[in-house]
Amino acid sequence: MPHWTFELSPNALSAAEKATLARQITETGGEAPPKAIFFYIDHAASGFPSEDRRLAFIARVNKIVRPILEPKDIKWEYNIYEHPRVNWRVNGMIPPVDHPDIWQQWFEGNQPVMYDDQLPPKDEKVIFHSVAED
């Protein structure tokens, strides 16, 4: 079933309007369960190289969340989004997954560390253009 996400300002919709939307959108009864969690995972470091790896990742997610959520009788649902690695940035840098020694520094320091491939050229001039508001 599609997961609809609404981002609204406070008091944009009444409780009755939200309930009407829920009833008309959902296929499972339209009533919010007493306790529910929906989360998503953005997976950008690398894609799943095989169906087995994808299923192993899903099994790991379930193993992490099930012991916490299931005993509390919480309905839980999630989705995993895979993104192109070329779009992934940490502190504006491409994470050094192709540089194991630098990647290890990131892990050991628990923070990103600037590395040669990410250093701006010394003579680089950055020009910012602003758009005037009308």
What pLDDT, on a 0 to 100 scale, did the predictor assign at position 50? Answer: 92
And the tokens for 53? 């790896």
DSSP structure string for 58-115 = HHHHHHHHHHHHGGGT-EEEEEEEE--GGG--BTTBPP-TT-HHHHHHHHHHTS----
3-class SS of residue 41: strand
62-105 pLDDT per residue, tens: 999 999 999 999 999 899 998 888 888 898 888 888 889 999 99
Residue 134: pLDDT band (50, 70, 90) is very low
